[in-house]
Amino acid sequence: KQALSTQALGRVVDFSDELSSTNDRAKELARQGAIHGLTVLACRQQAGRGRLQRQWESPAGGLWMSVVLRPNLSLADASKITLAASVAIVDTLQELFELPIGIKWPNDLVHKGQKLAGILGEVVGEWNTVQTLILGMGVNVNFPREQLNNTFPATTLQEILGFDIDLNLLAAKILENLEKELICLEEKKFDELKSKWTKRAIGLGEGVRILRGEDVIEGTFKGISIDGALILETGNKEITFSAGEVKLRSKKGYF
């Protein structure tokens, strides 16, 4: 904790041995008036949640963290916070361990084709009145990958690095980088965020498939729009897809 150099994020911490989901706990605290930056941490989650109604396995040794954010942003700009979080985690792993982490749109963090971390942003109540967002971040850290029986290939920092790391230090560094990105967002430096995200994007310029319900749409992954939607080129037109509605698959088979 003494290593934390943020203004707001992680200044108040709600720590539990076990929770159903840190996002749910953060929502509850937000409804009770939690301040901007309050951070919920749990050693284990019994019902960790991923995007698109998926479950997120959360054994002891992982970093399961949710931050209550009351940022000075419009709803449209607040949707960029999950991009900011993926950049913050990527930068942290680069700085601490020189690990090259890619981002699979919209914000899966991937090492050599295996998922290492994910982000789940949720709005609390009506954005117009409450303006509160819960930013959940899950990083597979100090446990072997066998403890995950995911449908997708996954890895952990223990597998990659060969040793265990200090979860508090990792959390502190992520919160510091996240706070920097949030300040950039509030200053409307969107291009900077977009270019950091794009530098790490997996599959850019390649042929991909977009799954929307039963539909499969094929095209070339051209990039992201300023609010993080995926831009797909098919034939001679461009279509954008927002993260809430579709899944991305590569034709090369790495995700």
The answer to whether residue 153 forms part of the interface with ligand BTN (CB under 6 A) is no
Which of 10, 37, 48, 106 binds ligand BTN (CB under 6 A)? It is 48
Interaction of residue 142 with ligand BTN, rule CB under 6 A: no
How many other β-carbons are positioned within 10 Å of the β-carbon of residue 126?
10
Among 37, 118, 121, 203, binds ligand BTN (CB under 6 A): 118
CB of 45 to ligand BTN, least distance (A): 6
Q: Is 120 in the site for ligand BTN (CB under 6 A)?
A: yes
Site for ligand BTN in 57-76 (CB under 6 A): 58, 64-66
**Beta carbon of residue 43, minimum distance to ligand BTN (angstroms, whole number):** 12
Q: Is 50 annotated as a binding residue?
A: yes
Instruction: Please name the amino acid found at residue 222.
Output: K
Find out whether 45 is annotated in a ligand binding site.
yes
In angstroms, give the least distance from the CB of 109 to ligand BTN.
Answer: 9
Backbone angles phi, psi at 183, to 5 degrees: -65, -40
22 among annotated binding-site residues: yes
Which of 30, 33, 211 minimizes the C-alpha distance to 136?
Answer: 30
Rule CB under 6 A: say whether 140 interacts with ligand BTN. Answer: no
Q: Dump the DSSP string for 52-99.
A: TT-B--B-TTSEEEEEEE--S--HHHHTTHHHHHHHHHHHHHHHHH--
Instruction: Rule CB under 6 A: choose which of 8, 56, 116, 185 binds ligand BTN.
Output: 56
Instruction: Count the residues of the shown chain that bind ligand BTN, applying the rule CB under 6 A.
Output: 21
Sorted by sequence, the CB contacts under 8 Å of residue 151 that are 6+ apart come out as none
Annotated binding site for biotin: 21-23, 45, 49-51, 115
